Amino acid sequence: MKPLENKNALIIGGGSGIGQAIAVSLASAGCHCSVAGRTIEKLSETAAQFSGEPKILTHAVDVADRESVNQLFEWFDTTVGAPDILVNAAGVNIRDRTMAAMTPEEWDSVIQINATGAYNCLSAALPSMRKRRDGLIIQISSVAGKRATPLAGVAYNASKFAMTALGTAVGNEEAANGIRLTNIYPGEVNTPILDQRAAPPSPEKRALMLQPQDIAEMVLTICALPRQAHVPELVIKPLGQAYV
């Protein structure tokens, strides 16, 4: 049997980019995959990329809405079963990223989705994992969660630093319950979030970035490790991007 065959995986933010690539890769490895996000049409596009069995299931969720997240996990538990693997890949950024340019409402939105949204998903997933004393959580953060940069912007940097602290603290707490948590910090990746920049990069620049499948391959490797092996964090970036 493949190491991931029949594992139950829930990928939040699975409608595009990194989350989409992870979902298709985990489904191809034999997982029972479900993808969740705000736009059901995008989730359906992800499901359509995998033609095997079992099919990728879809469910709408707003990670900033705690009740919406709780409803998602209730649905998953009833439809699929307890989650073996949770991938937190939902994230947003804004166009005007300096302290002077962004509005308080934009700050709130980024923090609520990127930081509080990750908390909401962990809060909903952990009880069943504790009960089974097993579970793997992958958080797709950003190098902006390790190094605050002008390119990422004030709100995004702050939200990803919060995600770093959240994941590290929860990972340390829950190790005694058999639960592993990995923070992954990608550098520049060719995903739709690049379109939210004030000056989106050219096709030539995007080609030199990491591609979503590169991150999916790392996630597959972590998911296939034995239970006693824990990867707390992993930084992966394009060769040409400085890590400063």
As annotated, the active-site residues are 156
Q: Where are the alpha helices (DSSP H) in the chain?
A: 17-28, 40-48, 66-79, 104-111, 117-132, 154-174, 203-208, 212-223
Determine contact, residues 14/42, Cβ cutoff 8 Å.
no
Q: Write the CA distances from 157 to 65, 94, 145, 201, 227, integer angstroms.
A: 22, 12, 6, 20, 32
Strand (E) or helix (H) holding 233 = strand 233-236
To the nearest 10°, report the CA torsion of 91, 96, 101, 104.
-30
